[in-house]
Amino acid sequence: MGLFDSKKAETAGQVDMSRLPRHIAIIMDGNGRWAKRRGLPRTAGHKVGAEVFRKIATYCKELGVEYLTVYAFSTENWKRPEEEVGTIMGLLKKYMVEAIDSMERDQIRLKFFGDLSMIPADIQEMVQRTNNISSHIHGFQANICLNYGGRDELLRAARTFAQACVDGEKKPEELTEELFSGYLFSAGIPDPELIIRPSGEIRLSNFLLWQCAYSEFYFCDTLWPDFTEATLDAAIIDYQKRDRRFGGVKK
């Protein structure tokens, strides 16, 4: 054990590998502030942030977490300067090119949550390719939320169900939580047990509004580009100390 690891063990304890969350969701926030503090353009923060996503996804897979959902670009993020949006899309494209090459070898399934019709056509085409590759892969799954909004996701689900009723395929009284969940981008995936937001903001910013009903939240001040495996360990350890009652009484 190196110096860093022993320090981590002292301060945070150890992750209980027998009680890992199956699904962790992260709002990857703080790239801009990280760059600003270094006198760099905001885009420099996004570049480092993309590397950190790779590192944390690999770590989640190594730990044995089954699903990692990350918030990469929200339905509100189009309000940003064109240059910043362009850089984020460029980084995404770079990531996808690499992912298409390596996901089979690394056994990483990739899914995209969000309205992809607004995304540049070449990226949409790459999404199609990663979907095809993912269909042959079993194991760890990374979900990238892209032009994603929780309200948008709920409206789409409601619209699809309403249309199924109009078409006579469904009846309003048939609607259950399970059925409704099946209309969401996250269909078939368990809700995240743990949602992490770094960067000091204590809000959801339209992330996983349906799926977060019983999630445990972990907020920390670390900016996303500074987020490490040890930060994730600390979040999981904190989660493992929580008493999840789901409306019942304490054990």
Looking at residue 164, its amino acid is: A
Q: Does 233 bind Mg ion (CB under 5 A)?
A: no
Q: Does 205 bind ligand IPE (CB under 6 A)?
A: yes
Asked if residue 214 lies in contact with residue 191, where contact means CB atoms within 8 angstroms, the answer is yes
- What is the closest distance, in whole angstroms, from the C-beta atom of residue 153 to Mg ion in the complex? 20
Stretch 20-79 residues interacting with Mg ion (CB under 5 A)? 29
Residues sharing a CB contact under 8 Å with residue 95, sequence separation 6 or more, in sequence order = 50, 53, 54
Q: Does 191 bind Mg ion (CB under 5 A)?
A: no
Check the CA dihedral 125-98-139-178 and report its sign.
Answer: negative
Binding mask 223-242 for ligand IPE (x = CB under 6 A): --------------------
- Give the total of residues touching ligand IPE (CB under 6 A): 18
Residue/partner pairs of 4-13 with CB below 8 Å, 24 or more apart: 4/230, 8/230, 8/233, 12/230, 12/233, 12/234, 12/237, 13/237
Owner of token pair 């298409």 = 100
- What is the closest distance, in whole angstroms, from the C-beta atom of residue 203 to Mg ion in the complex? 10
Q: Does 71 bind ligand IPE (CB under 6 A)?
A: yes
Which residues of this chain interact with ligand IPE, rule CB under 6 A?
27-33, 71-74, 76-77, 88, 199, 201, 203, 205
* Active centre residues (catalytic): 29, 77
